[in-house]
Amino acid sequence: MRAFTVEAAEAGQTLAALARKRGFAASWSEARRLVTSGKLFVDGAAVTDDAFRLHEGARVELRPRAPRPSPAAPPGRIVHEDPQVVVLDKPAGISSAPYHEKGATLARPTGALPERETTALDLVRAWWRHAGRRANETPLLVVHRIDKETSGLLAFAKTKLAERLLAAAFRTHEVERSYVCAVHGTLDDRRIESRLVADRGDGLRGSTRDPGQGKRAVTHVHVLERLGTRATLCEVRLETGKTHQIRIHLSEDGHPLVGERVYVRDFVRRGGEPLPSSRLLLHARTLGFAHPVTGERLRFESPLPEEFVRDLARLRRL
């Protein structure tokens, strides 16, 4: 093991530059490789960023036999995979798929996640790469979506047959889906039905009273817990699955989701005060369907994410 202590005149230099200067490497490329492969330790901890800047008095050690650090796991997790289907537990803030590629085979090159907005499709392939598999040889086909700001279970097909049969199951409402959400105010169990249109007249999706317009949407709400005096935790089951259906129905019912930033306009106009939240408190907890080839009944449950649980704890104290 070779080591040195950073002197005052060397403070602020990068780890790779100083490793080369101190004779640990004969070239820039070799110095960078030492860092990125986890062979250089600063004050006892491996540093893999070749642009890491050192402070005076830091102890730098070269450990040639140190194992290469494992790559960080991608966000989310794959909860099920077989030759026909993949089910991903998606984090909030990730789109299900690029909007312009709906229903298409979405190929991705190998390597790092793309620089454009990362989607759930990219996360599946990132997990394949993390497991040492080739990520661009298997198609991924979109059969349904959940909102970008919604976390939870999302299924993709890996073959055209699975895509056709799963998409049909979603269209005919044969798929079991339930969500957990926190809403403003106090409400009771209820069934909400309306006809949803892309523009209710003010630029927002919403319900219409015209029986000849829109698409029928039915939402079933079951109260799980009163959260303090200002919010309620609910389980929501979809009888139909329209874009933003849960968010629209509960907002129009006077109880927008906590963390809602789009369908909260009417609530604020009536004098409501949106509760602070780190995210939209909507989570796709349950997903169940018949396997498109074997017919086996598959059912998956996703636990509430940590940030969701933290926000619930805060709401209970209000």
User: Which tokens is 288 given?
Assistant: 């169940």
Q: What is the average pLDDT across 148-174?
A: 96
Catalytic residue of the set 50, 122, 147, 311: 147
- Mean pLDDT for the chain? 89
Domains and CATH numbers, the chain: 2-62 (3.10.290.10), 73-172 (3.30.2350.10), 173-318 (3.30.2350.10)
> Mean pLDDT lowest for which of 84-93, 101-110, 117-126?
101-110
pLDDT at residue 104 above 70? no
pLDDT at residue 175 tops 90? yes
Q: Residue range 153-162: average pLDDT?
A: 97
pLDDT band with cut points at 50, 70 and 90 for residue 116 = low
What pLDDT score does 210 carry? Answer: 87
Q: Which of 107-111, 144-148, 197-201, 225-229 has the lowest average pLDDT? A: 107-111
Could you read off the pLDDT of 176-234 as tens digits, one per residue?
999 999 999 999 999 999 999 999 888 889 999 888 899 999 999 999 999 988 999 99
What whole-number percentage of the chain has pLDDT above 70? Answer: 93
266 carries an active-site annotation: no
pTM of the model: 0.75
Give the pLDDT confidence score for residue 62 in this predicted structure. Answer: 92
pLDDT of residue 1: 61
- Model pLDDT, residue 102: 36
pLDDT confidence band for 95 (50 / 70 / 90) = very high
Q: What is the mean pLDDT of residues 148-165?
A: 97
pLDDT of residue 212: 85
Residue 290: phi, psi to the nearest 5?
A: -80, 135
- pLDDT above 90 covers a percentage of the chain that reads 67
Of 108 and 1, the one with more pLDDT: 1
User: What's the pLDDT at 274?
Assistant: 95
